Amino acid sequence: MASLEHSIDEQHQDLTLFVQNLLKEMQTRFQTMSDGIVNRIDDMGGRIDELEKSIADLMNEAGVDEQTVPAAKTES
């Protein structure tokens, strides 16, 4: 009877370790994907800033004042 209980305890420990390792691996993968997404968002923000600056420079070269340009209309 003692060996059966010992075997069951080992199986529970093995299952617990397996689940813990699986959760750690999933957390690592999620963190990697999350970091990648944040980096892409940061890159996109930088590109948008550069685009806005380029547009402002072009408008200045063309002699267009930003206040005279109508704002983009959003449709409801």
Q: Would you state the pLDDT for residue 65?
A: 73
Q: Which two tokens stand for residue 66?
A: 């930003």
Query: Does 4 score more than 80 pLDDT?
Result: no
- For residues 17 and 1, the model is more confident at 17
Whole-angstrom CA distances from 25 to 12, 14, 19, 21, 69 are: 20, 16, 10, 6, 53
Q: What is the pLDDT of residues 24-66, one digit of tens each?
A: 999 999 999 999 999 999 999 999 999 999 999 999 999 887 6
Average of per-residue pLDDT across 66-74 = 61
- Alpha carbon distance 41, 33 (integer Å): 12
State which H helix or E strand residue 48 sits in.
helix 2-62
**What is the C-alpha to C-alpha distance for residues 71 and 24, in angstroms, rounded to an integer?**
49
Per-residue confidence at 71, pLDDT binned at 50, 70, 90? low
* CA–CA dist 62, 54 (Å, integer): 12
